[in-house]
Structure 1
């Protein structure tokens, strides 16, 4: 089914997608579409605190990468998004959130990295690669997500994708030549509803409810207080 409604992630859906994310070595956090700056998903290579067990009072953390999803998606706007290759309008309502999670996972497991550009000694090639890196990575993340959501089905090209086929193929070839990406199977995080929960999911009762009813209230309070102390310290330093 395809609609133009506002889709909102449910608690059950979050828990299922969080397990999918952990299988691919990353945590899953939520935020509003507004707080995310008008995007539906976000990947950052910077690690953040991940609570090993959110059901106990003691806060034991590791540092891991986490992907982020918007709590709501305008399905009509999503299908109208301009992409470098893939036609997002082909996706059904029920496929949008799984696609978004897999898209962000794709950035983690099958992308070129900015670190490789920094290490390039050929400055001309470095500039060329820098100009095309983001759009090629978006194309690769879309391809990865499509294969997870519609395994074995042909990739549906948007009108832009049809027009830029040769250009995108040349861009991909250029990056493969100068900074070939290494694709490794990610190391899965421990599974379980309360295992390896991003600390940012414990900053309020509303977010913790997505994790489950047995999140430690003490952890929520501790996380909230840590954020408040940081804000006070920041003002004093200013």
Structure 2
């Protein structure tokens, strides 16, 4: 696998990542800034790839009792191990299939699950020729429903699921969450600019939570004058805890 070494968050994190395959991008940065880990809880990222999001969460939330990433593709898993060591962050990475969650973990064993599910339904487009890219972007190794089912099993009652997903599949996502009794509690749409439709959404759901969804104000990549808004800029700053 051909890789590059890249500085993230203005050099606060250095990652070796595939040249062609899953790489830290805007959705990764936003997901790490959106997730709200408890201070003494257990956190798991489903589909952690080369460890980018897991390590970003660790960087923002130093002192967590336990933070773990689960990845099915061995080359990406090995990159994650390397990235964890290189950045001196105490994170456990595990090789495994999230669809085997009942064999890998006990029920209700995490306080927060983080996920960036594959955006594309296989029926909606051509399959990527690159295996790592296909696994990250298309439902070749898991479906959205598999991620939701795993999160439901793994989260304790009151535990949170934080994820980023395509805006045009939001109805499908919300239906799947509610069917699995993961109640959507916060939602924030991300737009490139005020005159553009949302491209992705950030969602937080609570296992066995009560009814009530809070719509956060939209997040713009650039404002009406082409400048970076302060709330987006804060996602790229090295601070403690979530900022979105």
Tell me the TM-score range normalised by the shorter chain: under 0.3
- What is the TM-score normalised by the length of structure 2? 0.25
Could you say which structure has the higher helix fraction? Answer: 1
Which of structures 1 and 2 has the larger relative contact order (alpha carbons within 8 angstroms, sep 6+)? 1
- What is the TM-score normalised by the length of structure 1? 0.25
Could you say which structure has the higher strand fraction? Answer: 2
